[in-house]
Every structure is written in C-alpha cells, then in structure tokens.
Chain A
Amino acid sequence: MAAIASFLGRRLIKSVFILFAIVVINFLLVRAAPGDPAMVMAGEAGAADQQYVEQLREQFGLDRPLYEQLGIYLADVATGDLGYSYRQQRPVWDLIADRLPPTLILTGCAFILALTAGILLGTLAAMNVGRWSDTAITVLALLSYATPIFWVGLMLILLFSVQLGWLPAFGYETVGGGYEGLDRAADIATHLILPVVTLGLFYMAVYARLTRASILEVRDMDFVKTARAKGLTETRIVFRHVLRNAILPVITFAGIQAGQLVGGSILVETVFAWPGIGRLAFDAVLQRDYQVLLGIFFVTSVMVIVFNIITDLVYSLVDPRIEVA
C-alpha cells in the first residue's frame, strides 16, 4: 500500500510539471495557426469593415502582446479559471462541463463493448485456431478494422433508422420528448446504440486481434504445459493461465485508447450529431476559439495523465511481478 501511495505522490508532482509544459506549448502552437477568431467571424459575417475586426480583437484580448496574453492565461489556469469564450458567450468550464458527459458516456460504453467483445472473440479465435470460427472472427475483425468509421456509422443509420426505423439516427436524446428519470435514461440508451457500435467496432477488432495473437504466443509455453499436465480443465487453463499472461499487450493498448477517447470520437460525434467534446474541439479549431481549444487540451491532458497512472496500477494488479515505480 505504501508503495502505491508514494508512487501516486511522485506521479502527481511529475504531472504538474508536465501540465505546465503542455499549457505553454499548446498556447504557442494554437497561435501558430494562420488567422484568428476575429478573422473567422469576419469571414462568416459576409460583410465586414476594419472597425468590426478591431472591436472583436479588442474584445478577445488579441490586441495585447503575445507574452502578456500567455501570462494572463497561465495565471488564470493556475487559479482554475480556463477563461471565457467570447464566441459562445460562456465560460470555458461551462462549455466543457456540458459537453464532457455525453462524450464520456459514448466512449465509455464503446470502450467496455470493445474490450469485452474483443477479448472474448480473440480468445475464442485462438482456442479454435485454424477452424472456421477462427476464420470468421478474423475476417470480421479485419473488416471492422479496415472500414472507415464514418462509413460504418452512415450504413448503420441507413439500415436501422431509415430502412427499419428501429433506432434514432442522431442526437443525444429525443428533442422535445420531455422524458424524466428512467424514461430519459432509456431514451438516451436507444440513442447510444448506433454510435457506440460504430465507435466500438474498430477497437473491438484491435483487441480481438491482439488477444488472439498474444494467446497463440503464450499457449505453448512451459507453464501452460505444466498446467495441462496437472489435468486442469481447458477453460480454467485459458482464463487462469493463458489469458492472464496474454492480456498485458491488450491493457497497454487499452491505456492508450483511454487517452485517445476524446480525439477518436470526433468522427462519430459528427456523424451522429452527438453533442460531445470532440465536436466542440473540432469547431474550436476551425473557429480559432483559442480559450475553448486550450481548455479542452488542458482537460484532456489531465485525463491522459490519469489514465496512464491507472494503466500502470492495473498492470501490477494483473501481473504482481510488475512493480509500480
């Protein structure tokens, strides 16, 4: 226990420095893109004059020198203030707080689906290696891996929403449905199915292939032979001995995926008009909404750091030989 506490302590201190560097680098990177929010708004307005652009710059605080802007931003972030989006007329925290939960629900469900289905299918394929079920699973995985996510999404909408009319095509919940409590949860759940499957299929394929390959590598090792010689049942061998050793690469990849949750969901959020943070980030890039973009970078950086720490902890749980350090 003490080892874990000191591990967490050290990682937290490191994280603060990493975060500081991330904020500064992001700030400079974002500014390196051509154009600024005033330009975008002028471009969208269809008519503009000098005064309009200057007013916007002044309002956004873009008329000050860059180092001054950076100083102000760092001081704000240090006090937990991510700034204000003049474009959207709301504090960045509010915008993120509104858009983060739908993304977490979507990617969380997709993550669980991908991980469980992927590991199960991969194991199944490895146990039946060379037989038709192995081939079927491999082909399915290959197809899901190779098909562009947005296309899968559109095809699912075409089939299940337009043709069959079973599931809603897009959105987070029925707009104007006025559902409360459990009804609302059920409503959101029906809206979740298609985007979760769309997003989950890709990662499911990855996990299935990783698991299969990894099991095939482990299953002929000496300790498995020993287990088999002891007369253990095949299922017990697979789950207690083989899978436990084979799962490490999957965990590594799952850790990476968890860190990418936000980025990976942009396409799915766009196709399904899902009001998540991926789209917020995408729009913020196009609109050069600096404060929002930096805010999202900050929040996602924190998430990545947290997931990394969790992944390291999970390693040591699955395989006690690995020590947290």
Chain B
Amino acid sequence: MSNRLAYLRRLTASGAVAAALLAPAALVATAAGPALAQEQVQKGGTLNVIVQPEPPILVLGLNQQGPTQTVAGKIYEGLLRYDHDLNPMPGLAESWEVSPDGLTYTFKLRRNAKWHDGTPFTAKDVVFTTSKFLPEVHPRARANFSHVESIEAPDDYTVTFKLKQPFPAFMKAFEVSSAPMMPAHIYEGTDYKQNPKNSTPIGTGPFKFEQWVKGSHIHLVRNADYYLDGKPYLDGIYFRVIPDAASRALALESGQVDISQFNDVEPFDVPRLKELPHLTMTTKGYEFVAPLSWIEINTRTAPLDDKRFRQALAHGLNREFIRDRIWFGLGRVATGPVNSVTPFYEPDVPQYEYDTDKAEELLDEMGLEADGSGVRAEITLTPMPYGETWARLGEYIKQSWGKIGVKVNLESTDVAGWVQKVSNWDYRATNNFVYQYGDPSLGVARTYISDNIRKGVMFSNTMGYSNPKVDELFAKAAVENDPKQRGAQLSEAQKILVGDMPVIWLLEMEFPTFVNKRVHNAVTTAIGTSENFADTWVEKKK
C-alpha cells in the first residue's frame, strides 16, 4: 500500500505535465484490470511483438536476458507471479504458506499443469529445478537458493523449502526469470547447456514453441492443454526481430507490430508515438525490475576516492534536465539506492539539488585549484554503449561537469569492451543501470557490500566502495524476519549510502510500453510484457 501512496504523492508532486502524461497510462491500467473482465473477451487472433535484440536461446533457465524473458516468459513459468505492488499471486503454485519464524516455505502446486510434451508437472520438477538445475547455471538463483537448508516434496503436489535462517526476500525469488521451472525428465542427468532439446524449449506455459527463423521472427502457438480453462485467448504470438530503432517506431506506427517495451523505442520518438490514436502508452509493468540508473564511480583513485568530490559531481548535474530533455520526461529523479517502487524505500535522505556554487565550494574545500584554463580535475567517462540516449547523456555530463571545473574525456566502447573495462575496474566513471528484483536484499545490497568486490564480475561492487557499517546493516536486514526492524536497518543503510555517494544516482527509469488499442490485458503484473500473456486478447480487425 505504501508504494501506491508514494506513487500518488509523486503524481501530485510532479505537476500538471506529468499528471497529464500519466493519466492515460493510469486509465489503461484500470481499464485493463477487473473492469474489462465484463467486456466480451474475444478468442483467437495473433499478436506481433517486437523482440530486440534477438535472444541467443529460449531456455530461460540458461539465459535471463530481457529479450529471452520476453519470449520465453510465455513458454516457461515460475511458482509465483507478482502484481504491480509486488504482492505474490498464484503461478504454478496455487497457494503458499510461510511459517511465522520465516524458516519454512510451503508451496501447493497446480494438479493439472503439464509440460508441453504431455508429461505432468510435479513436485519432482520443482525440487530438481531449485536444488540442481538453477544453482548450477543461474547466477541470481544460485545466490537466492544458497539460503536453503533443504528442499522436500512430501507428495507430488507439495514442496517445502527449509531455510538456514530467515530470509524474507525469499518470497520474491520465484518470479519466472528468477526461478523458471525446468522439466526434470528432459534435463536430469544431462549436461544442461549442451542438451540437444535446448533448441525446442519445453515449458508449462500458455504458449508453445513452434518455429524460430533466425534474424526474422519467433513463432509461439497456443497451448491447448493449458491448465487454466479457456486460456490463453490468443492463437499465437509472433516475436519480430527489428534491429533499427527508427524502423521499430515505424512498425508500431503502421500497425505491423502491436507491442514494444523496454528500450525498443528511443525516448525521442516517444512524444510522437504517444500522439497516435491507435496506440496507448504505459510505464507500468517494470516494478519488479525497477531499474535505477546512475553514474558509477571507481572510488579507488584520487580525487574520486573523496566523497566531497563525488558530492560535488552530484551537485553539478541537473537531473530534472536529464529526465526532461534526454529521456523526454520518462522516469523520476532518483533520491538514493532504492527505487521508490521497491519495498523499504527511504525518502528522507540528503538531497543533491543542482547547484554549481555548492559543487565549487566542495571542490574548494578539497583544495582543488583551477589551472589557467579553469580545470580543477580531469576524469574519463566511459558512456554505456546501449544506444543513442546514453551517448547524449555522456555529452551532457561532460558539459555540465566542465562548468564546475571538472574536465571529462569521453571514451567510447562497445558492449564487450565496456564490460571488460568496468568489471576489471579499468575505468574512472561510467553509466550503468541495475535492476532491484523486488527487494533491497536481492537487487540493491549486492552493489554496495564489500563481500561483492570481485574483479572480473559485472554488476558486482565494481566501484570498490566499502563501509563496514553498511555491510553490517545489509547483512542484518537480509536475515531479519521482523519487517519493522528490517525497515529501520535498510533506512539507515540508505542514509549512509546517500551521504557517501559511491555512485551518483540519476533516474528511477521508466520504460515506455506501447500497445495497440486492439490488444487488451497486455500489462497486468510487475513484469509487464514479460508476463505469460494467458489473459491477453485482441479485438478482431474490422
């Protein structure tokens, strides 16, 4: 509930423009909810969805990239799904129970779920997936299930996880990309990555794999044996690979595709597409990943090792400008390490408004004198090689910091080079954005704790930030079963972090999901269009 309140607060606070932008989205969201259940659902029809870039493989257990999830999220399922406020909903588990001491999680499974090859889905699959398959190949699941002492299946349709100590975030570990259920009868005893069946994925979801024309499209068809009566409504889904951003916008415009998500559409195309009568736009459906963008700083070398310098850099950026002019109004200015849609968000932290005087004061305090050309310090920024918008951001940062006497040299790379540089700490500053996965213990702590300073590993604590107090608070919060205490620990950690500024938080990112108006129920949960589309239906073309 607190999330929703925060959401409303933001709505009023961000003024009339933002309200006007969000109002249609909110209307769609309510319209797509229960109200529409009364409207006549039409069966049949196919959807065209953009998938970009082309996923390497569709076995979700082996690969969890965004595009893989977009497609494979319809084939595979997790035990739980999550609504927009991150409350669990039934998935392959019909009901669940957590013992008061927070140590035992019991799931009751659906009795009529089947794998696409006809084999029944049972507790054996869950035990195999969570105790063998995922811990071997899935980095995030490996961490989540490391808290488990034992996994048992008292009968075919019950699974019990016993934890070593309380780990409240465990409830968020069962979403489809975090823990996709894999068929034991296909993978048990094989080399998972080399299994020949990997090219024809078998899941329990509402859609079955039909055909993959590399470079062109992936075709899924309706699973007639799906366990929910009458669902799915669609006959099939085509996922179209369209590499060029301008072509993707044109494809939406001309109606050749029905849905786009994440960064399919570049921010500068958003205002134009939003005007089109046959499209709706929503920014809902990203609550689970809750991406947060920041400027990552290698805190190992001077002057970046001084928090006053980092604070000065923060004051030297106008983040409203970044949101309004570079992201065309998409997103909210971030206040700290936790996204406001993620539980345990703490709003009461030091604020870093745009103020070049304050920035210069801090630099003066450090004794950084300007040389003849007004330069106090020089750093290299390696912009994230994820498209136009990030390049624009890099140019803006260069210009802004130049005004406070920090000269920025831009260094460009491609993805492989960027990952190599950042993960091997061979950088000074870069942009990044990271997912939160519904709980600070899952998606936030990992970036700031000293244990996770590991050379060569991306999305670890590559800044080299280390604060024993923060380590302690995150460690305690991870195993604290009392939500109140846990909240207090996480709040304190956030306050310390915002003071220390190991990274400069920029935006709580919002992605535009464009949906053709003839498509209903496209975004219904916290994972948006990565959801399984069992409820999605289309109006017949007239």
A87–B416 CB distance below 8 A: no
Provide the main secondary structure of the chain B interface: mixed
With A35-B419, A49-B142 already in contact, the answer to whether A99 and B457 are too (CB < 8 A) is: no
In the complex, B308 has a CB within 8 A of chain A: no
In the complex, B476 has a CB within 8 A of chain A: no
CB contact list, B45-74 vs A, under 8 A = 46, 48, 53-54, 56-57, 63-66
A94 and B54 alpha carbons, distance in the complex (Å): 17
- Neighbouring B residues of A168 by C-beta, 8 Å: 256
With A162-B250, A271-B246 already in contact, the answer to whether A288 and B457 are too (CB < 8 A) is: no
B214–A99 CB distance below 8 A: yes
CB contact list, A51-90 vs B, under 8 A = 51-53, 55, 59, 86-90
In the complex, A309 has a CB within 8 A of chain B: no
B56–A89 CB distance below 8 A: yes
In the complex, B323 has a CB within 8 A of chain A: no
Taking each of A53, A170, A271, A280, which has the highest tally of chain B beta carbons within 10 Å of its own beta carbon?
A170
A275–B415 CB distance below 8 A: no
B215–A44 CB distance below 8 A: no
B250–A40 CB distance below 8 A: no
CB contact list, B394-445 vs A, under 8 A = 413-421, 423, 434-435
Distance to closest chain B CB from A180 (angstroms): 16
Instruction: Name the residue of chain A whose CB is nearest to the CB of B418.
Output: A43
In the complex, B149 has a CB within 8 A of chain A: no
With A45-B65, A46-B64, A176-B219 already in contact, the answer to whether A169 and B416 are too (CB < 8 A) is: no
With A42-B458, A48-B457, A275-B215 already in contact, the answer to whether A89 and B199 are too (CB < 8 A) is: yes
With A49-B457, A171-B216, A270-B244 already in contact, the answer to whether A36 and B416 are too (CB < 8 A) is: yes
Instruction: Name the residue of chain B whose CB is nearest to the CB of A95.
Output: B214
Distance to closest chain B CB from A273 (angstroms): 4
Distance to closest chain A CB from B47 (angstroms): 11
In the complex, A98 has a CB within 8 A of chain B: yes
A172–B250 CB distance below 8 A: no
B215–A279 CB distance below 8 A: yes
- Neighbouring A residues of B233 by C-beta, 8 Å: none
- Neighbouring A residues of B454 by C-beta, 8 Å: 49-50
A279–B243 CB distance below 8 A: yes
In the complex, A234 has a CB within 8 A of chain B: no
A170–B416 CB distance below 8 A: no
A49 and B459 alpha carbons, distance in the complex (Å): 9
- Contact among B46, B139, B250, B419 for A43, CB-based, below 8 A: B419
Interface residue count on the B side (C-beta < 8 Å):
58
A99 and B254 alpha carbons, distance in the complex (Å): 26
Distance to closest chain A CB from B489 (angstroms): 23
A275–B456 CB distance below 8 A: no
In the complex, B213 has a CB within 8 A of chain A: yes
In the complex, A143 has a CB within 8 A of chain B: no
- Contact among B215, B244, B457 for A280, CB-based, below 8 A: B215
A33 and B414 alpha carbons, distance in the complex (Å): 10
In the complex, A13 has a CB within 8 A of chain B: no
- Neighbouring A residues of B417 by C-beta, 8 Å: 33-35
Distance to closest chain A CB from B531 (angstroms): 18
B46–A176 CB distance below 8 A: yes
CB contact list, A237-274 vs B, under 8 A = 270-273
In the complex, A126 has a CB within 8 A of chain B: no
A288 and B253 alpha carbons, distance in the complex (Å): 33
A47–B56 CB distance below 8 A: no
With A42-B423, A176-B238, A271-B247 already in contact, the answer to whether A52 and B139 are too (CB < 8 A) is: yes
A158 and B251 alpha carbons, distance in the complex (Å): 10
- Contact among A34, A161, A275 for B254, CB-based, below 8 A: A161
With A42-B419, A46-B65 already in contact, the answer to whether A275 and B213 are too (CB < 8 A) is: yes
In the complex, A283 has a CB within 8 A of chain B: yes
With A50-B454, A150-B244 already in contact, the answer to whether A169 and B65 are too (CB < 8 A) is: no
- Neighbouring B residues of A37 by C-beta, 8 Å: 416
- Neighbouring A residues of B214 by C-beta, 8 Å: 88, 90, 95, 98-99, 275, 280
A43 and B54 alpha carbons, distance in the complex (Å): 15
In the complex, A317 has a CB within 8 A of chain B: no
CB contact list, A3-35 vs B, under 8 A = 33-35
Instruction: Name the residue of chain B whose CB is nearest to the CB of A285.
Output: B414
In the complex, B240 has a CB within 8 A of chain A: yes
A273–B247 CB distance below 8 A: yes
Distance to closest chain B CB from A163 (angstroms): 9
Distance to closest chain B CB from A275 (angstroms): 3
A34–B416 CB distance below 8 A: yes
Distance to closest chain A CB from B429 (angstroms): 18
CB contact list, A277-303 vs B, under 8 A = 279-280, 283, 285-288
Instruction: Name the residue of chain A whose CB is nearest to the CB of B414.
Output: A286
A87 and B56 alpha carbons, distance in the complex (Å): 6
A58 and B216 alpha carbons, distance in the complex (Å): 30
- Neighbouring B residues of A95 by C-beta, 8 Å: 214
Q: What does the 1/0 interface line of B61-89 toward A look like (CB < 8 Å)?
A: 00111100000000000000000000000
With A46-B65, A49-B143 already in contact, the answer to whether A273 and B56 are too (CB < 8 A) is: no
Distance to closest chain A CB from B130 (angstroms): 17
A88–B57 CB distance below 8 A: yes
B416–A171 CB distance below 8 A: no
In the complex, A152 has a CB within 8 A of chain B: no
In the complex, B106 has a CB within 8 A of chain A: no
A169–B143 CB distance below 8 A: no
A55 and B456 alpha carbons, distance in the complex (Å): 14
In the complex, A157 has a CB within 8 A of chain B: yes
B54–A273 CB distance below 8 A: no
With A35-B420, A48-B457 already in contact, the answer to whether A270 and B216 are too (CB < 8 A) is: no
- Neighbouring A residues of B142 by C-beta, 8 Å: 49, 51
A91 and B236 alpha carbons, distance in the complex (Å): 28
In the complex, A39 has a CB within 8 A of chain B: yes
Taking each of B63, B251, B413, which has the highest tally of chain A beta carbons within 10 Å of its own beta carbon?
B251
B-side residues, CB < 8 A to A, are 46, 48, 53-54, 56-57, 63-66, 137, 139-140, 142-143, 193-194, 198-199, 213-217, 219, 236, 238, 240-244, 246-247, 250-251, 253-254, 256, 413-421, 423, 434-435, 446, 454, 456-460
Which are the 9 A-B pairs with shortest beta-carbon distances?
Answer: A35-B416, A275-B215, A43-B419, A275-B216, A35-B420, A34-B417, A52-B139, A273-B242, A49-B139
A-side residues, CB < 8 A to B, are 33-37, 39-53, 55, 59, 86-90, 95, 98-99, 102, 150, 154, 157-158, 161-162, 165, 168-172, 175-176, 270-273, 275-276, 279-280, 283, 285-288
A-B contact pairs, 9 of them (CB 8 A): A34-B420, A37-B416, A46-B459, A48-B139, A49-B143, A52-B139, A99-B215, A273-B244, A286-B414
- List 19 additional contacts besides A161-B250, A276-B215, A285-B414; criterion CB under 8 Å: A39-B419, A40-B419, A42-B458, A43-B458, A45-B65, A46-B435, A49-B143, A51-B142, A53-B456, A55-B193, A59-B194, A89-B199, A169-B251, A169-B254, A175-B240, A176-B236, A271-B246, A273-B244, A286-B414
